[in-house]
Amino acid sequence: MGLPYFEINGGTRLRGTVRVSGAKNAALPIMAAAILCEGEVILRDVPRVADVFSLAELLIKLGVDVERRADGALRLVTRDEMNCRAEYDIVRKMRASICVLGPLLAKRHQAQVSMPGGCAIGDRPVDLHLRAMRLLGADVDLVAGDIVARAKRLRGREIFLGGPFGSTVLGTANAMMAATLAEGVTVIEMAACEPEVADLANFLNKCGASISGHGTPRIVVEGVRELHGCEYTIIPDRIEAGTLMVAGAITNGELTLENCRLDHLMAFVDRLAAIGVNVEKTDKGVVVSSARRLEPVDVTTQPFPGFPTDLQAQLMALLCVADGNSIITEKIFPDRFLHVAELNRMGAHLRKEGPTVIVEGVKRLVGAPVMASDLRASAALVLAGLAARGTTKVNRIYHLDRGYERFDDKLRAVGADITRKEGGDDAG
Ligand code: EPZ
């Protein structure tokens, strides 16, 4: 049988309208936060992607009923609080499972979460998550590969969440979720400012939490006794939106994106403008179109509101066909460059020097069989395939399915020649 893969015949200009889905990275912690709530949580615009299915599977094991309603909304209600354990099998599949740690500890007073390992994008420590739980008063041990945390009642206090690479998105989410039910006031300094963290805070406030300062590096949480459920709509996925913008630009096409928040994409749009891609807000949505000649640029990934690491691979695909040399520096995950060798297989001229890649623009990319290594790298290879001459076969697209909702269908609807096939190659 083999695995699913994409076959892409490049060279068609994309034209038309695409709706951006709800943000995976906002939906995941918000789903985990349902553990904290008494009563029903109804979430709208939760994308149908593999990571959401994996987290739903974990939440069901943790006694939360998770159901997709006929109207598309996700309904979550806690039925049983006995099980507090997230096993290796599921954490290994999806690192974001770590975001049940804070909610379990705050609501059920104990949590046992398998320690996540590294992944294709590099070392991914969780020391800052553990520091936050300890500062809130939990006893935290590592037992046979599991994080085991206990606390009768968490107590609010000051938490500094800065690490060698800046703040931590899911660490801030965990600290904030745990603090909602702690006694007293918690101040999180050097909190992550990402829109997904702010979305989680808005959701928690709607459930009765008292959080302020979200979206800034200083978040203040006043503990409350109890959280109730609510209905909430997840923000649009800024990374999917950015990926679609590159799809429009790399094919010299014109795409209109519905459900797109430009205020979440300022650094990215700034770089697109420097490259020569037009991005314009209109009544119908955000219109992206590209002039023929693409200018090279330098870009460095940074925490929000800087340029997002989750769009680094996609921008690299675009810069491969710019007219000159670009420099891309990765400051969040310095090893997140597995797509470099694959793009070179398609005729790109990329040279990696430590956490930096020098991109020498080429006239055209050429279709080839390539292998996806992680979610955003897969997207970059699809984008390169859309622009390349000839046929590109992107193997291991299960990585892409983790975070992009019906990506092939969306691209096909605006003119891409992309087909999902069975029988792909999984050779290492
Ligand atoms: C979130 O991961 C996202 N995942 C990632 O998206 C994204 O790349 C990343 O934030 C950075 O924006 C989800 O939201 C589910 P971090 P997270 O903790 O929270 C270091 C995608 O493609 N660090 O903000 O796990 C860490 O090594 C995914 O959708 C510590 O040193 O990332 C990194 O250098 C991939 N100690 C930096 O901080 C810690 O305890 C930022 O990581 C935690 C992190």
For residue 29, what are the β-bridge partners?
none
pLDDT at 419: 98
Q: How far apart are the CA of 171 and the centre of ligand 1, in A?
A: 8
**Ligand 1 nearest-atom number relative to CA 374:** 22
For 24-233, the fitting CATH number among 3.65.10.10, 3.40.630.10, 2.40.50.100, 3.30.1390.20 is 3.65.10.10
Per residue in 333-350, is it b (16+ CB within 10 Å) or e — as a string? bbebbbbbebbbbbbbeb
Residue 283 has pLDDT above 60, yes or no: yes
Rounded Cα–Cα distance for residues 136 and 150 (Å): 11
Calculate mean pLDDT across residues 139-161. 96
Residue 401 has pLDDT above 50, yes or no: yes
- Ligand 1 pocket member 213 (CB < 6 A): no
**Can you tell me which residue has the tokens 């939106």?**
241
pLDDT at 1: 63
Of the candidates 122, 104, 332, 304, which has an alpha carbon nearest to the alpha carbon of residue 199?
A: 304
- Ligand 1 pocket member 125 (CB < 6 A): yes
Ligand 1 atom 43: residue of nearest CA: 126
Ligand 1 atom 18: residue of nearest CA: 168
- Ligand 1 pocket member 304 (CB < 6 A): no
Percent of the chain with pLDDT over 70: 99
pLDDT digits (tens, 9 = 90+) for 291-340: 778 999 999 999 999 999 999 999 999 999 999 999 999 999 999 999 99
Residue 426 has pLDDT above 70, yes or no: no
Q: Which of 332, 374, 404, 407 gets mutated to test ligand 1 (max ligand atoms within 8 A of its CB)?
A: 332
pLDDT at 122: 79
pLDDT at 427: 55
Residue 270 has pLDDT above 70, yes or no: yes
- Ligand 1 pocket member 404 (CB < 6 A): no
pLDDT digits (tens, 9 = 90+) for 119-136: 778 778 999 999 999 999
Q: How far apart are the CA of 309 and the centre of ligand 1, in A?
A: 9
pLDDT digits (tens, 9 = 90+) for 172-201: 999 999 999 999 999 999 999 999 999 999
Is 207 an active-site residue? no
Calculate mean pLDDT across residues 107-114. 98
Q: What is each CA distance from 264 to 126, 199, 276, in whole angstroms?
A: 26, 12, 20
Structure token pair of residue 146: 């599991």
Rounded Cα–Cα distance for residues 64 and 58 (Å): 9
Calculate mean pLDDT across residues 212-216. 98
Q: How far apart are the CA of 170 and the centre of ligand 1, in A?
A: 7
Q: How far apart are the CA of 169 and the centre of ligand 1, in A?
A: 6
Give the type of residue at 77.
Answer: V
Contact of 61 with 78, CB cutoff 8 Å:
no
Rounded Cα–Cα distance for residues 295 and 56 (Å): 43
CATH class of the domain whose range is 3-21+237-424 = alpha beta
Q: How far apart are the CA of 12 and the centre of ligand 1, in A?
A: 35
Distant-in-sequence, close-in-space partners of 407: CB < 8 Å, separation ≥ 6: 379, 382, 400
Catalytic residue among 37, 84, 99, 119: 119
- Ligand 1 pocket member 75 (CB < 6 A): no
pTM over 0.85: yes
- Ligand 1 pocket member 310 (CB < 6 A): yes
Q: How far apart are the CA of 168 and the centre of ligand 1, in A?
A: 6
pLDDT band at 428 (very low <50, low <70, confident <90, very high): very low
First to last CA, the chain: 17
Q: How far apart are the CA of 310 and the centre of ligand 1, in A?
A: 10
- Ligand 1 pocket member 20 (CB < 6 A): no
Cis upstream peptide for 305 (omega within 30°): yes
pLDDT at 303: 97
Calculate mean pLDDT across residues 275-289. 97
Residue 118 has pLDDT above 90, yes or no: no
- Ligand 1 pocket member 314 (CB < 6 A): no
Domain ranges of the chain: 3-21+237-424, 24-233
- Ligand 1 pocket member 215 (CB < 6 A): no
- Rounded to the nearest integer, the mean pLDDT of the chain is 96
pLDDT digits (tens, 9 = 90+) for 369-397: 999 999 999 999 999 999 999 999 999 99
Asked if the domains 3-21+237-424 and 24-233 are classified in one and the same CATH topology, the answer is yes
- Ligand 1 pocket member 126 (CB < 6 A): yes
Residue 66 has pLDDT above 90, yes or no: yes
pLDDT digits (tens, 9 = 90+) for 8-52: 999 999 999 999 999 999 999 999 999 999 999 999 999 999 999
Q: Which of 21, 24, 25, 46 gets mutated to test ligand 1 (max ligand atoms within 8 A of its CB)?
A: 25
